[in-house]
Amino acid sequence: MAALTLFFDRNLGVRVPKALRTARPPVAIKDHQQVGFAIDAPDDEWLAKVGTKDWVVITHDRKFH
């Protein structure tokens, strides 16, 4: 079974994921900028790529589709 990865989208910035990585949790922590997505990448673009990896998306976007 693959390890769990939490992906934080651009709406949460980099501070929360960075703090979580510092705590060394038993899951992988990735964020929008770290993975290399453009800050203005459309949701459909990055969601498709993240979805193929089976990562869990954490967001604060109320207009998420």
Q: What integer pLDDT is reported at residue 1 of this predicted model?
A: 45
Residue 59 near residue 11 (C-beta atoms within 8 A):
yes
Please say if the pLDDT value at position 63 is more than 80.
no
The rounded mean pLDDT for the chain is 89
The pTM of this model reads: 0.85
Backbone angles phi, psi at 44, to 5 degrees: -60, -35
- What percent of the chain has a predicted confidence (pLDDT) above 90? 68
Mean pLDDT value of segment 4-32: 93
Backbone angles phi, psi at 20, to 5 degrees: -65, -40
Please say if the pLDDT value at position 61 is more than 80.
no
Backbone angles phi, psi at 28, to 5 degrees: -80, 140
* β-pair type (28-31, 56-58): unpaired
Domain ranges of the chain: 5-58
- H or E segment to which residue 6 belongs: strand 5-8
